[in-house]
Structure 1
């Protein structure tokens, strides 16, 4: 039976070869995209794991000598720079990944990108921030991305004791902060589930191509003596052969896509090409699962043949779908609503509820699609008297499952696109800032300092400096001298006769008169420094020279010297990364759904070529048949698309409320453009198949086989 099945597949005439080629191409595209998505998510996970050592703290324990440790953030011309300062207390102090030994005092390791940047930048702008000399480059296992700027700086234990936030650790950290990891995995998990569903539907649609004509041929074999088991084997071989070949080509397509995928900043930065990889489990599941799923799908479509060979010709109207099909959709949205105010604390718990909720909604869209299609078709039939509309609506109402199957991939793509763009645009609208228009102002926050370094005033490009000192009694009150305020009138002004004023450093504004302090200028100078402000000419070189001078002069700074633009740039870059993720979702899901729609429409035409031929022979105009096909595709598409878009907006809102405590913002023009283009392309796909009716419904197609 296996040899006979292969013969039917490979030597069954032009129609069989065309069907085989289409199934192979569809499976190859679906498998290639599926593998690329899984590999991309694996790359993000690897990136996340490679940054774990930078989050070392006292929670990691070991048996070696303690190691002084402090991780601090830094910036350089709009880019993030991460720095870890260390000092060994003995020969058995733990060593971070990427190096074979700890740097000694006056030594430091840098990432390849930072090494190149230091070499091409004046020392006063960057290199002078790191004391001593470079002794090596951090390996790939310590740097998440080729573009990352990371430094590992050696110090003495005495120097480390004076650094704010420094602590002794006995082991290097192996996990990122729970909040960052949980949000990242939850969002990526939603993206993965959202992308996998349309691709799997596409593969399934391809393997079901021309199922009705195959049923007729297998029924003829039953009538001449073939057993149900033999028919099942032949069908499984036919589908598995095409799927195996398509899967092999899909792995080749994945290898071609690895390079472009590595360039996509899914979460924070591009990946190393080697990180875009599959695990052994991924490979086995796809290599074995796709052919098995294709064979199972083929056997399911032939269930009538196995029951009775006459079941193919004696067709009856299937039972109409019931309203209970909408239950998974309601249950999924209810689960997401339950998480608002009850978000699980653990990463695994968050992943379970969010992925579970989104998966239930997607299953609900697929399950309720036939019922919604039937409802829409019956409503259309009651309000129309045109022949084409009545034929289409009656057929949709009689078999809404078959009609919805062709558009199910696009419906899911619209849902995924709505969720992705809704979440991203809301996060951007909630937290993106335009940046302080006064980008020439740089601040550093301090603890324990008493005197400002005189070198900052001499840096070329620095126009003025100002000190913030702690007010008596602590709290959030900050002091500033009127001499400094007079040199920077854009920050406000002092009342007449005052020497020192109380200010809010985060709210400095022109024209405001700050309340006077009882302290004299001499008493102000003895108070601890809490911050230092530098006013530059705004040039990038002056800003970086001032930043370097502040870091050298205040080695124990609590927060890095930065402008408002620096502080917002990190979030803006994160949003740009998530925007790329949303673009990937749109660019993958909509074309795949369009292909699935094309396969479904063509498959439907192939299955009904004889009925349509008989209608033409009986005098039905070809234009009427074309309108029938158009109605049968557009009614379920538009009906369920409205539900998918509404469900996507609601799911995005519930996720934002639960995970980030923000509300959904109205999507921008980009979203409506994407949805409009997606629906427009889908209708164009349907229209492009209509010319096939003339060829498929000729007189020769009306004969009995």
Structure 2
């Protein structure tokens, strides 16, 4: 039977070859994208492992032998032009001190190693903006083994043991950590690989759903003619099981060929993957690899999934031979089909104020609700299509509208099948856009030109191990005269006073810069945060400090806040000057820089979501085109008879357009509404955020998807003229 099925699949004429090509092409695209997702997951793990050595001071997890000589170690975070930079100050205590990967030795005092990307910046940037931060001379470049990304900015600076001991957070190490930050206790440098792996897994599922639907749609192409052929085979003695086997062989063959082609396409797709920054930093090309498990899972799973989809798509071939000729209108879908969608949204709503405490619990809760909603949309689609068809028939004023409404009402499942892939794509689009847009709105970057963006602050915090500078510590020489610096404010440390911030500043200083906030009426000293960020998340009024103006000069310095015009030269020159003056504390930064790390990651997720959306729309568009072409081919005789009775070709075109556009627009509206509802429920439950309206790119993407879908509908119209000629009216 398998050999017969292969022969029928290959020698069944142009329609069979076209069907094989369509299914194979769809599978190839889907397989290549799935392999890209798996490669991305593996690259995240590899990149995380490359971060391991930076955690050497916070965990004992390591492999290899312990070094005989300890090394002084202090890891701090720095910035340049908005990019994050890691700096490790080290002190050699003997010839056998531990050496990080990518280096042959630790730098001696007055020497430093840098990553290739940082070396390029040092060569192209004035020294007073970057190079002067590193005392001594560059003696080497860190190799790839010690870098998470080709774009990583890392410096390992040699200092004396006494100098390193005076740095905040300094310690001594005898081993270099060589396990993933995910697997060691206390590690904080690295990627949240669990979350990214989860997101990429959702991406894989989001690609797999429309892919399997497209395979099922392509399998149904010319289904009526194939059912007649299978019925004839039943009459000569074939069993239902044999017919089912023959019916699935064709799709499995196409899926297997498409899988091989997908593996062939993956190396080409991989060449562009190192440009997509899933984690905020590019991957090394070698990290974008596949495991044997990935290869076996995709190589065997996709053809198996295609076989299952084909069996479900052609389950009607198992009816009796007479059943093919005695088809009746199927029972209309019932309202119960709306229950799974409601159940999915209710499940998400139930977790508002009941958020699971563990990460696994949150994953199961939210991911389960979203997947249940996706399945519910597929289940509810035929009912929504039927409801739209009844409205269309009720409002009909022309024959084409009435015919289209009656046709959709007769078989709403077939009408929905054509647009099911697009429905899922729009749902995924709406959920991803709603969540990411809202999080960025609450926690994203501060717009360029606002006070918090232009302010550079360096602070000391006793509760975090920082030693406060003396009260008479002067403002670094030359800082106030730096071009682009508007002013330098000194925030004093008032200690812990109830619930007030620990900083204190004269209200006269705030009066000169009203964009920073203001004191309450009558107050002379305001209680502020060290970086002068806004109090109470947006309020313009600080609380009054119990300190007096006379007491301020005697208080130790809490921070220096440099107000600049936002230019890179002013920011980086000021930063370098502050670091050179105060080399042992936390490095200066703007509020926007530490907030932008999270926002930048969200932007990468948005890009990833856009890739998924575009791929889903492409697959959904192919599914729509195949379904339309198949529907026209199967109804060529009824359409030919209508033309013989005087129905104009333009009316038939309206019928096809309405049959496709009504379910398309109906399910699109429901999918978008369900997507934003799911996003709003997740945000309220997980983060206590309100849903924010999406940006222009969302509307452009949705409009483009719908426009392409309508264009695909229009592209099938020339086929209608060719297949509805008088010769098609004869009986077969």
TM-score range, shorter chain: 0.7 to 0.9
Residue matched to 2:711:
684
Shift of 1:55: 4.9
Q: Give the distance between the partners of 1:603 and 1:151, measured in 2 at CA.
A: 62
Judged with a 3 Å threshold, the aligned counterparts in structure 2 of structure 1 residues 611 and 486 are, in CA distance, closer, same or farther, namely closer
Q: Give the distance between the partners of 1:345 and 1:182, measured in 2 at CA.
A: 16
Residue matched to 1:448:
467
Residue matched to 2:477:
457
Residue matched to 1:251:
263
Q: SS of the residue aligned with 1:21?
A: helix
Name stretches of at least 5 consecutive residues in structure 2 with no aligned partner: 183-187, 461-465, 535-539
Q: Give the distance between the partners of 2:245 and 2:515, measured in 1 at CA.
A: 83
Shift of 1:472: 5.9
Q: Give the distance between the partners of 1:472 and 1:250, measured in 2 at CA.
A: 63
Conservation of the 8 A alpha-carbon contact between 1:449 and 1:529:
yes
Residue 613 (1) aligns with residue 640 (2)? yes
Judged with a 3 Å threshold, the aligned counterparts in structure 2 of structure 1 residues 681 and 511 are, in CA distance, closer, same or farther, namely closer
Shift of 1:29: 2.5
TM-score computed with the length of structure 2 as normaliser: 0.84
Judged with a 3 Å threshold, the aligned counterparts in structure 2 of structure 1 residues 417 and 695 are, in CA distance, closer, same or farther, namely same
- Deviates most, 444-453 or 483-492: 483-492
- Deviates most, 428-437 or 590-599: 428-437
- Alpha-carbon RMSD: 3.8
Deviations 1:25-57 (A, max 9, x none): 233233333333443444345444543554556
Q: Give the distance between the partners of 2:502 and 2:263, measured in 1 at CA.
A: 63
Q: Which of 476, 479, 493 does residue 470 from structure 1 map onto?
A: 493
Judged with a 3 Å threshold, the aligned counterparts in structure 2 of structure 1 residues 389 and 161 are, in CA distance, closer, same or farther, namely same
Shift of 1:366: 0.5
Residue matched to 2:185:
none
Residue 306 (1) aligns with residue 332 (2)? no
- Deviates most, 307-316 or 527-536: 527-536
Judged with a 3 Å threshold, the aligned counterparts in structure 2 of structure 1 residues 391 and 514 are, in CA distance, closer, same or farther, namely closer
Shift of 1:692: 0.9
Conservation of the 8 A alpha-carbon contact between 2:455 and 2:564:
yes
Alignment of 1:447-526 (within 5 A): 447-451=466-470, 456-458=476-478, 461=482, 465-471=488-494, 476-479=501-504, 504=528, 505-507=530-532, 517-518=547-548, 524=553
Residue matched to 1:353:
365
Shift of 1:114: 1.2
Shift of 1:626: 2.3
Q: Give the distance between the partners of 2:509 and 2:668, measured in 1 at CA.
A: 62
Q: Give the distance between the partners of 2:42 and 2:268, measured in 1 at CA.
A: 17
Residue matched to 2:34:
34
Deviations 1:331-359 (A, max 9, x none): 22122223333333433333222222211
Shift of 1:213: 2.0
Q: SS of the residue aligned with 2:354?
A: coil
- Deviates most, 40-49 or 680-689: 40-49
Residue 193 (1) aligns with residue 216 (2)? no
Residue 296 (1) aligns with residue 308 (2)? yes
Shift of 1:101: 5.3
Conservation of the 8 A alpha-carbon contact between 1:182 and 1:351:
no
Residue matched to 2:601:
574
Q: Give the distance between the partners of 2:557 and 2:362, measured in 1 at CA.
A: 42
Judged with a 3 Å threshold, the aligned counterparts in structure 2 of structure 1 residues 42 and 389 are, in CA distance, closer, same or farther, namely farther
Q: Give the distance between the partners of 1:235 and 1:53, measured in 2 at CA.
A: 56
Residue matched to 1:8:
8
Q: Give the distance between the partners of 2:517 and 2:407, measured in 1 at CA.
A: 75
Q: SS of the residue aligned with 1:530?
A: strand
Deviations 1:185-222 (A, max 9, x none): 55444444333322332233223322222222222222
Conservation of the 8 A alpha-carbon contact between 2:216 and 2:313:
no
Residue 329 (1) aligns with residue 341 (2)? yes
Residue matched to 1:420:
432
Deviations 1:290-314 (A, max 9, x none): 2223233333344333342232222
Q: SS of the residue aligned with 1:547?
A: helix
Shift of 1:502: 5.3
Shift of 1:638: 1.8
Judged with a 3 Å threshold, the aligned counterparts in structure 2 of structure 1 residues 335 and 107 are, in CA distance, closer, same or farther, namely farther
Q: Which of 48, 63, 76 does residue 80 from structure 2 map onto?
A: 76
Q: Give the distance between the partners of 1:429 and 1:481, measured in 2 at CA.
A: 32
Alignment of 1:618-657 (within 5 A): 618-657=645-684
Conservation of the 8 A alpha-carbon contact between 1:305 and 1:311:
no
Shift of 1:436: 4.9
Conservation of the 8 A alpha-carbon contact between 2:449 and 2:566:
no
Conservation of the 8 A alpha-carbon contact between 1:325 and 1:364:
yes
Judged with a 3 Å threshold, the aligned counterparts in structure 2 of structure 1 residues 632 and 67 are, in CA distance, closer, same or farther, namely farther
Conservation of the 8 A alpha-carbon contact between 2:457 and 2:531:
no
Q: Give the distance between the partners of 2:411 and 2:693, measured in 1 at CA.
A: 37
Judged with a 3 Å threshold, the aligned counterparts in structure 2 of structure 1 residues 489 and 576 are, in CA distance, closer, same or farther, namely closer
Q: SS of the residue aligned with 1:124?
A: helix
Q: Give the distance between the partners of 1:502 and 1:547, measured in 2 at CA.
A: 26
Conservation of the 8 A alpha-carbon contact between 1:33 and 1:199:
no
Conservation of the 8 A alpha-carbon contact between 1:108 and 1:154:
yes
Residue matched to 1:110:
114
Residue matched to 1:557:
585
Q: Give the distance between the partners of 1:191 and 1:3, measured in 2 at CA.
A: 37
Judged with a 3 Å threshold, the aligned counterparts in structure 2 of structure 1 residues 689 and 198 are, in CA distance, closer, same or farther, namely same
Residue 174 (1) aligns with residue 180 (2)? yes
Residue matched to 1:20:
20
TM-score computed with the length of structure 1 as normaliser: 0.87
Q: How many residues align?
A: 699
Q: SS of the residue aligned with 1:562?
A: coil
Deviations 1:489-526 (A, max 9, x none): 9979999xx9x9555254489999997955758x835x
Q: Give the distance between the partners of 1:246 and 1:87, measured in 2 at CA.
A: 57
Shift of 1:528: 3.1
Q: SS of the residue aligned with 1:457?
A: coil
Residue 541 (1) aligns with residue 569 (2)? yes
Q: Which of 277, 288, 297 does residue 289 from structure 2 map onto?
A: 277
Shift of 1:132: 4.1
Deviations 1:196-251 (A, max 9, x none): 32233223322332222222222222223334444344333322222222222222
